[in-house]
Amino acid sequence: MTARTTCNSLQVATPLYRFIEDKVLPGTGIKSADFWKGFDDIVKDLTPKNEALLAKRDRLQLALDNWHKANPGPIKDMPAYRKYLKEIGYIDDVPTKISATTQNVDDELALQAGPQLVVPVLNARYALNAANARWGSLYDALYGTDVISEADGATKDGAYNPIRGAKVVAYARQFLDESAPLAGALYGDVVAYSVVDKKLSVKLKGGSTTGLVDEKQFVGYQGDASAPSSVLLRNHGIHIDIQIDKTKTIGAADSAGVNDVVLEAALSTILDLEDSVAVVDGDDKVLAYENWLGILKGTLVEEVSKGGKTFTRTLNPDRKYTAGIGAVNAKDGVVTLHGRSLLFLRNVGHLMTNPAIITGEGKEIYEGILDAVVTVLIALYDINRPATQAIGNTRKGSVYIVKPKMHSAEEVAFASELFGRVEKLLGLPENTVKLGIMDEERRMSVNIKAAIAAAGARVAFINTGFLDRTGDEMHTGMYGGAMVRKGRMKIAKWFGAYERRNVLAGLDCGLRGRAQIGKGMWPAPDLMKEMVEQKGAHPLAGANTAWVPSPTAATLHAMHYHQVDVAKIQADMEILDTAAEYEALTDELLTVPIALYPDWTKEEIREALNNNCQGILGYVVRWIDQGVGCSKVPDIYNVGLMEDRATLRISSQHIANWLLHKYVTKAEVNEALQRMATIVDTQNAGDPLYKPMMPNYEDSYAYQAASDLIFKGLEQPNGYTEPLLHAWRLKVKQAQAK
């Protein structure tokens, strides 16, 4: 039995109560009695509204199921379908003109364009790495990944390879030539850097000197003006730091002593309490909240072992440079740049409850309400930080919360109401809490402009989430017919309309200069060459951020924002009739990806089934047995992919759909699960904490959870995986406690 402490009508898991009482409230100036009474009032007042929103989801899904049963196959009469969606309340009314009014948004979200990381807040090392990924070594990112070929002796394993190093330097020099060109010269011609009259002066091999084509790109420097140790440049609002040190191996071999090129990379990071974590009770919540508190207080540390050495990782300080001619906001001749990513925290959505707190009637409270109250309470340490605290997050006095898996404008309005209640409880100005809206549910996609209008003074972020969006697409049209294979989802009509329409909505609602308009994740952290080749499409589409799976990926993706001036792209798009194009794409957006001619061969069906089953098991076995919510999981071809609950939702719903329409049988699924469980066991053989599923799969909670996700997939609310995962994980924790 969980030990609990009574706070008004709330029964709080004692570890959570003690954490709030001992570690959080004392530094906020808020009295314990006032906090718990206010918390209790919020739960009592908003729980019925939360319940009503979820009941509407269920009602709408039932109506859609009935429509598809009566109209099987691909949608043949789109006007009739849209009329039906309007009648049942699936499509909201949209105000004629929407103008977001969000104020006090930090530059990383409102003005700058660059990569965004998403990491589990439960893992302190990941959280610190992500926060510190604001700046990344381009040399390291190129040397250690497949962006640079290993041909012609340029291998990357073992000791430093000067052949590979030369390729890295050549690549970086070309990047500099394109991003901050020199007048009449290339960076490979440089033999020395200096600063003269606040301008960058570059000495060339022939003895002549030159400077930047645009001298205002020179922001500042470190060291002596005659021989700086660092040269800071700016392009499209983000920075490049050329680091010079002839005493180091790389610098000694460089004609100008350049030892590294460091890029401003992950401008922002989402610390995640949702899809990438396994947080199922009060103990888990405390671990997650403690890391959030430590990050915002600047005190989070982690002991790290790497290369046979152990060291303490902390948050990076800000970076200071002597101002150059292009400096902006310099103070006393010094330019100070933020040393860390600007942090969002992704709260849990509206669906889940959590036993961390129960009511007097024994009911778990909604986890989204719990997160809102506690995470914003913790954020007071950042908003009200003393001048003596050198490390902080916001400079504009805002708290940034991403709210996932919302379905409509009324659900966004509910989130805004919840944050408003929390602001009153904590004595914060109205709209202190800024809202990130994930456009990852089909009903949200069709209503995204109305959703922005519902929180127009809070919106600081909208982002497409293709993976969850695909899972919802499948579940929404489940009874219409067999869905196309997973690999064809990105070429289905709805996908292109969805991605384009989201950007158009953000621009038409006035988010440029106020908020991020984002794109989704690159899921393969080892395939960086492909990412560099493909992910440039995101800024070209008008998105001023896009998700990446690692600090290395953030550094590489940052190059795209030097190649593309996103602010100009957005301004050019606004000249178009964004509202008309947004509306014109609606029919394509609502086209359900039911296979027109589902004439797959037995081998194609078997391949799809194997792929889905292996992906489900590979992710679920770590989630259930070890509480790992996000990790690099090898797929059936042993390609490491970043998996979280969104990818799990796709795979489980896909099999459930093919089962429903009799393209696979229950026996075939069970056979595939058992066969793939053996493969997953082999792939994890090197993990000492791993518990094999085979041959005793009937005794494996992880295997049973994976099976439930498929065979109970039809009845899961909107196809979500959380209810089953949480239930099975709690069983494992209970068994371990005995």
| Active site positions, annotated | 346, 644
Residue type for 571, please?
Answer: A
Residue 317 assigned to a binding site? no
- Rounded CA-CA distance 114/236 in Å is 10
Record the tokens describing residue 715, joined without a space. 């009845």
- Rounded CA-CA distance 402/516 in Å is 12
Residue 256: what are its φ and ψ, rounded to 5°? -105, 5
The size of the chain, in residues, is 738
Residue 118 assigned to a binding site? yes
Residue 208 assigned to a binding site? no
Residue 340 assigned to a binding site? no
- Rounded CA-CA distance 398/417 in Å is 17
Record the tokens describing residue 124, joined without a space. 């302190």
Q: Tell how far CA 374 is from the center of its chain.
A: 21
675 close to 624: Cβ distance less than 8 angstroms: no
Record the tokens describing residue 607, joined without a space. 């391949």
Scored b (16 or more CB within 10 A) or e, 241-251 reads bbbbbeeeebb
- Rounded CA-CA distance 508/255 in Å is 50
Residue 695 assigned to a binding site? no
Q: Return the bridge partners of 359, or none.
A: 10
Residue 87 assigned to a binding site? no
Task: Please report the sign of the dihedral spanned by the C-alpha atoms of residue 506, residue 507, residue 510, residue 513.
Answer: positive
Residue 126 assigned to a binding site? yes
Non-local CB neighbours of 208 within 8 Å, separated by 6+ positions:
none
From the CA atom positions of the chain, what is the Rg in Å?
A: 26
User: What are the CA-CA distances from residue 625 to residues 120, 468, 635, 685 (Å)?
Assistant: 17, 23, 19, 15
Task: Please report the sign of the dihedral spanned by the C-alpha atoms of residue 370, residue 373, residue 374, residue 376.
Answer: positive
- Rounded CA-CA distance 324/20 in Å is 46
Burial (Cβ within 10 Å: 0-12, 13-18, ≥19) of residue 665:
exposed
Residue 57 assigned to a binding site? no
Q: From 225, 268, 229, select the one nearest 245 (Cα to Cα).
A: 229
Place of tokens 């289905």: 492
What is the DSSP secondary-structure string of 447-478? Answer: THHHHHHHTTTTEEEEEE-HHHHHHHHHHHTG
C-alpha dihedral, 544 to 266 to 433 to 298, nearest 10°: -170
Scored b (16 or more CB within 10 A) or e, 667-691 reads ebbeebbbebbebbbebbeeeeebb
Non-local CB neighbours of 284 within 8 Å, separated by 6+ positions:
122, 277, 278, 627
Q: Return the bridge partners of 116, or none.
A: 268, 547
Residue 466 assigned to a binding site? yes
Record the tokens describing residue 695, joined without a space. 């041959």
Q: From 465, 374, 462, select the one nearest 419 (Cα to Cα).
A: 374
Residue 398 assigned to a binding site? no
Q: From 681, 615, 675, 607, select the one nearest 645 (Cα to Cα).
A: 615
User: What are the CA-CA distances from residue 265 to residues 94, 134, 334, 723 (Å)?
Assistant: 37, 5, 22, 36
What is the DSSP secondary-structure string of 406-437? Answer: --SHHHHHHHHHHHHHHHHHHTPPTT-EEEEE
Binding-site residue set: 118, 125-126, 276, 313, 346, 440, 465-468, 549
Binding-site residue set for acetyl-CoA: 118, 125-126, 276, 313, 549
Binding-site residue set for Mg(2+): 440, 468
